[in-house]
Copies of this chain bind each other. A is one copy, B any other.
């Protein structure tokens, strides 16, 4: 039995999902030889610690009413001082400074803790620094959940397509934009109407900039560029156009010619681009709803396409826990 002591830094939608999945899958993982315990949880309200394993039921219940009894230990202090194996960093993405995620991640790696994250900011800002720190400190750093939520892509390429050269990746990597463009196309509705509907449904944020202006997709492309293509790219290297200017007339005209319009990200050694593009109906990328999809062009295996849910608390958490399981097998 391998003991894995985990901390969760950032106890919002994804962090709570991780706690829920670890609790729900405790026996499933134990049957596979992994005794996975959460020993610390930190958020802006402080830190909860129990080195014998936090009662996750209890903390999740209390979190609903903001009734968590926490010490005023910060996330950084916790990462340094509490003895554990893996830091799960799930604070919100900040593409300007990467904080507070960047400091948490650097602290985790410098203190020789393995690191798993869904937080794109630090990776889009300084991927190389983080990977170098992981190497120097001889720990694992995994971030499958940063691109495509529950849709496997980074580990899929590194493990399953290991003998291939990756020529290009083309994908729809933002579920909010996919939802908006799908609804506009299917029902001839205007952008503003569908955006407002998406906000009511919780599919779009109150401030939708991050999604509709292509920023989220661009951050994901940067992570793919660095991790798959060995580039040293940052957000500013991406050419970005969002979906605000896409009209339902344009969608209708495209449809009459056998095309959809999707917010498509493309990354290869020469291109880093996010823009609305025509996708032929029937093409593997012509998927609707809030789904994400990526087509991976390889030199030997041809084209591999993968589709899955790009967001969601439990979906994203399942990917994070998958990364923890991978680390436990090292």
Contacts and interface: CB of A to CB of B under 8 A. Distances in A.
Given A301-B319, A315-B300, A162 B325 contact: yes
Contact of A307 (B164, B305, B319): B305
Given A152-B156, A152-B161, A325-B162, A315 B301 contact: yes
A163 B315 contact: no
Interface residues on A, range: 35 or more
Contacts of A29: 163
A91 interface: no
B151 A304 contact: yes
Contact of A150 (B287, B301, B317): B301
Interface in A130-165: 144, 150-152, 155-156, 159-165
Nearest to A293: B305
Given A156-B152, A282-B288, A163 B305 contact: no
Nearest to A308: B304
Interface of A: 21, 25, 28-29, 32, 144, 150-152, 155-156, 159-165, 282, 284, 286-288, 298, 300-309, 312, 314-315, 317-319, 321-322, 325-326
